[in-house]
Amino acid sequence: MNKIAILILIAFNWIPLSAKIPLQQAITRGIQKSLVIQNNLLEQKNLKLEKKNRDMKKWLTLHLGGSYIFKSQQMEINFLEIQINEGISVPLEPIIVGARHNYDLKLGLSQPIYTGNRLSNSAKLKDIQYEMEKHNTGLNTIEVSTRIKTSYFTYRMLFYQQQSVNAFLETLQLHQRKLEDFYLENLIKKSDLLETEFHLQEQMMNLEEIKLRIAREKINFKSLCDFNIEDISGDYTETIEPGPELLSDFQNHHPYLQMLNAQIRLLEIQKRLTNAEYLPQLVGFAEIHYGRPGIDYFTNEWSLYFQGGIGFDLKLFDWNQRKRNQKILNYSQEKSRNKQKDFSREVENQVRQLLESKKAIEIKLAIIGNLIEISREDTELKAELFQEQQITNKDYLASLATKERYVFMEKEQQLQIEMIKVNINKWLGLFDRKF
């Protein structure tokens, strides 16, 4: 009974170790670890706080202040002599008003009354900047996703290439052993052995180059998402929208186009802020003061008093700077619209080219399938002809290489289709929908 329990535990512990990790999980991890995206998210938090600060500027503020002023001279009030009787007058001493040392402590409230919607538009500005940063995050998400998927399919292509070369090497080694037996029986020339050895060494050198590229791709993949690429499931395939719907709505969801839309709206808000600078600015204030000499300069003592009122400011003339600023913003909006049109044309052009490439590869794959069957039959036939010494060893080796080349070419073209679909989704901005 104990042995059975131990076997069950071993089985349950072994299953997760042998299970492959889906590529979606690697992409999610890559997005989480991207420092560029982390900075995008931090910037979004910053903009939320800045928006809150702008909202708070609409409400009253409380401030405490104080001042000390030294005056080298004081006001002196002189009086005329008082006439008591005829010929008798009494002189009066001058009175010193104020103090050399002046102190004032202040507790004040201020409340914007009218700003021409400057404060509310400033808050909206931060809202739009936050929206733009979200779209920028989407763009960087697409970039990270594309890099991981490209690395994944590149590795798979190199892996299949390695398998193809290994299979070819095994065939060559088997053929070499047969040739060695034939040579001992004086059925072939030494040159046949040398030709086969040459092909073997050439393929071994090719295999080492492939191994180097695989090692580099493993390092690249792990740096992108912290996973070993050997642990990733090999069954992932990229999906794209069906034909007619492929280019139908990318303008409504592509992060870059949405960012440009937000930028146009942001410039419109900036126009309103420019106009608000030329509207009256009214601010109410109320202050409690405690100072010396305070209100009564004759007593020169500490006194508590209150004052309040309304501040008014209106810009009247600035050498037509307002019109120039409006034109600058209009030009910026026009530039953003032109960028939208240019990017939309570029996307449509690139996607149509990629679709044509995909169609051409699909036709090639049907042809390659036929070539594989023909090359297999040709290799079997030439193996018999070589044994009957009707063809040279060189011709037989060429047929082997041709068969292996077509087998790998089929896998390579299939993966090229996956890479094309990855690039189509990149251009259309669809990765942020999936992950």
pLDDT tier at 394, thresholds 50, 70, 90: confident
The owner of tokens 């739009």 is 128
pLDDT tier at 400, thresholds 50, 70, 90: confident
The owner of tokens 């049109």 is 341
Tokens for 63, please give them. 């401030």
pLDDT tens digits along 104-118: 999 999 999 999 899
User: Which residue in 92, 25, 2 sits closest to 236, CA to CA?
Assistant: 25
User: Which residue in 260, 265, 259, 266 sits closest to 432, CA to CA?
Assistant: 259
pLDDT at 87: 59
pLDDT at 9: 42
Domains of the chain: 22-58+116-150+238-279+321-434 (1.20.1600.10), 60-114+281-313 (no CATH)
- pTM beyond 0.85: the answer is no
Which amino acid is present at 113? I
pLDDT tens digits along 198-234: 888 998 999 999 999 999 999 999 999 999 999 999 8
Among the residues of 226-287, which ranges form H helices? 250-253, 255-276
